Chain A
Amino acid sequence: MNLLEVKGVRRSFGGLVAVDQVSFEVSAGQIKAIIGPNGAGKTTLFNVISGVLKPDAGEIRFKGRPIHGLRPYRIARSGVSRTFQNPSLFLQMSVLENVMVGRHRLSRYEFGGCGLRWPGQAREERAIEEAARGQLERVGLADCAMRSAGSLAFGQRRMVELARALATEPELLLLDEPASGLNTREKDDLGDLMLRIRGDGITLLLVEHDMSLVMSLADEVLVLHNGMPIASGTPAEVQNDPKVISIYLGGEFQHVAAGQES
């Protein structure tokens, strides 16, 4: 069964249609990439899937249940986690605390229980910390645990954000341009890490600009242009699609599209 189904999604801002008629599926265990030039609507699509924006039309199903229009925290609780294009860590907190926030949906003591240190609450706190440390180890930042999140370099922030998203134990992980701003070595590490994450049974959907990364990692690629999907398939298929070539290299797309329609 498809883990995520997106059907006819449309979202506009005033008169500008950012995303229109987007339909695709993500099957469990896949790495799927969404590519497209700047302004193609990739991030808007991500925001719609994760609940940050509400779609104007269309439906989104996760594990068969509709999730469109739900608030982000409800979607997160159902097992979809995400990172942001600009790492949005909680800068007033330590790296470890940032990742601990990711455990929120998997822990249960509320105001009363926490304020009164109810029996079992301390144990839960230790379990949260342990799990968070585990996730930091997974992304290779275990020794930064006690540093303030604001003191990290850009690449490390991305990794902490990834650890935070992983700490929610998602089934589907949405990564918004995970490689942007990373150097070559960090990109290689990221690629390895994504394969390991997939190996742990987490499905990945990413928006990415770095073509070599996308082509080497993704099982399937969806190409967006001006908010509409224009091609999809394996990396090799997409790479050889004339429409894709034309939008990336410029020029003849209108002509090609017109030629196909006639």
Chain B
Amino acid sequence: MLRLRTQLQRGLMPVGLGLVAVLLHLLIRSLGKEFYLTQLTMAVYYAIVVMGLSLVMGYAGQVSLGQGAFFAMGGYTAAILTTHDFSAYQTAAWMETLKGMHIFVSRPGLYGGEVTAMTPWASFFVAMMLTAGMAFVIGYPSLRLKGHYLAMATLGFGLIIHKIVVGSSLAGAADGINGVPEWNLGGALTISGKTPLRVTNYYVACGLAVVVLIFLRNLIRSRVGRALQAIHDRELAANAMGIPTAAYKLKVFVLSALLAAVAGVFFTHYTGGIGPSEAGALKSVRYVALCAAGGMANLWGVTILSVLVNFMSLRGWFGSYDHAVFGLLLIAMITWCPQGPLKPVGRWIRRWSSRRAGGEELGR
């Protein structure tokens, strides 16, 4: 009976989340501001980065200042591979094979002529592999040590990626890359910034976010989640209980980097391009700030807060005080509700319902 109930609840969560997405869509439509969906979609992609960070910070107790760089790594890899013209190898035998495997494709170029570039799916997988490899290389040495070595290593990594992106013509230097083709995920689902596809893309982003949320929630409520929480609480005791702490921290870090890169790839295909600001150190600090303000070990709080704040920021509501608002927000949240924005609301509801229940009992 209890099991049936928990299984029902488990099944209800995606439905509930889907409902929230639909309601939000309807609200925006009733306001007649459908163009809001564009920024909302982008904000949802940013939120996926913060979800992964929540696992690293809230559950494994590590700070990563490289999430922006991983986001950019995903985005730039996809952007470069799908826009760079490989026509020079047109005649090579291996190019024929790769075209046959749908890894490369020839399509009309932006400025006429024909361009041979990688397909979005193939570049997505390349981006994933590159990111995982890079996260492993950074995480392996820094997570064997106790202390905040990961924060330092990722900060350095972020700065390096930013410099590379700004300095290389392959990545479009300060202009970034434009003209990234749309990505057909299959069927009617195409990631593209075209106006008729705005609603589709909003739901694709929400769908991806829901999938990630469910995956992470399942993970947290399992032996792996308990192990991570144990590492956060008392690393030594966790290790003595048979948990390979270094390996677990590394896996969580790689997972978070992959989530950032996934968001980066989707984001890049959605907006049709990516610029060096995505790789900036301040971007990474913002992800950390959002994660901290959302309560860290609180997936819901982190998600809601980052969608909301990123949406407002992307709409330009904070004007030129954008970064200052992030700082203020962080200070305010940590002062008043360090466990995330939802905890006080939850407490309030509980107090209210228990007062009601208490009143009824007295009445009887």
* Interface residue ranges, A against B (CB under 8 Å): 50-52, 71-73, 76-77, 81-82, 84, 88-93, 97, 100-105, 107, 109-111, 114-117, 121, 124-125, 128, 164-165, 168
Q: Which among B101-109, B161-169, B220-228, B324-332 touches the partner chain?
A: B220-228
B241 touches A115 (CB 8 A): no
Please give, as numbers and ranges, the residues of chain A lying within 8 Å of B237 by CB-CB distance. 84, 88-90
Contact B224 A101 (CB under 8 A): no
Main secondary structure of the interface of B (DSSP, over half): helix
Could you say which of B238, B244, B297 contacts A101, with CB atoms under 8 Å apart? B238
User: Is B251's beta carbon under 8 Å from chain A?
Assistant: yes
Asked whether A168 lies within 8 Å of B223 as measured between CB atoms, the reply is: no
Chosen A-B contacts, 8 in total, with CB atoms closer than 8 Å, are: A50-B240, A71-B239, A84-B240, A90-B237, A102-B241, A109-B224, A114-B223, A165-B241
Q: Is the CB of B224 within 8 A of A111?
A: yes
Interface residue stretch chosen among B12-20, B88-96, B112-120, B211-219: B211-219
- Chain A residues in 8 Å Cβ range of B33: none
Given contacts A109-B223, A115-B219, A116-B218, contact A91 B233 (CB under 8 A): yes
Among B218, B239, B242, point to the contact of A115 (Cβ < 8 A): B218
Give Cα distance in the complex from A165 to B234, angstroms.
15
Q: Which of B233, B238, B244, B255 contacts A92 (CB 8 A)?
A: B233
Contact of A114 among B218, B234, B236, B243 (CB under 8 A): B218
Query: Which residues on B sit within 8 Å (CB–CB) of A100?
Result: 223, 226
Q: Does B38 lie at the interface of the complex (its beta carbon under 8 Å from any beta carbon of A)?
A: no
The 4 closest A-B pairs by CB, nearest first: A105-B242, A114-B222, A76-B242, A90-B233
Alpha-carbon distance A92/B238, docked complex (angstroms): 13
**A104 engages B227 (CB within 8 Å):** yes
B-side interface residues, number (CB < 8 Å): 28
Q: How far is the CA of A88 from the CA of B233 in the complex (A)?
A: 9
- Tell me, in angstroms, the Cα distance from A105 to B232 when the chains sit together: 18
Q: Considering only CB atoms, which chain B residue lies closest to A105 in the complex?
A: B242
Tell whether, in the assembled complex, residue B230 and residue A93 are in contact, meaning their CB atoms are under 8 Å apart.
yes
Interface positions of B (Cβ within 8 A of A): 215-216, 218-219, 222-227, 229-230, 232-234, 236-245, 251, 255, 297
Contact indicator B230/A72 (Cβ below 8 Å): no
Q: Report which of B227, B239, B242, B297 forms a contact with A168, defined as CB distance below 8 A.
A: B242
- Given A88-B234, A92-B232, decide whether A101 and B239 contact each other with a Cβ distance below 8 A: no
| B226 near A164: Cβ-Cβ < 8 Å | no
- Asked whether A114 and B240 contact (CB < 8 A) given A73-B245, A93-B233, the answer is no
Pair A73/B236 contact, Cβ less than 8 Å: no
User: Could you say which residues of chain B place their CB within 8 Å of the CB of A125?
Assistant: 222-223
A90, B229: Cβ atoms closer than 8 Å: yes
Per the bound structure, the CA–CA distance linking A128 and B242 in Å amounts to 15
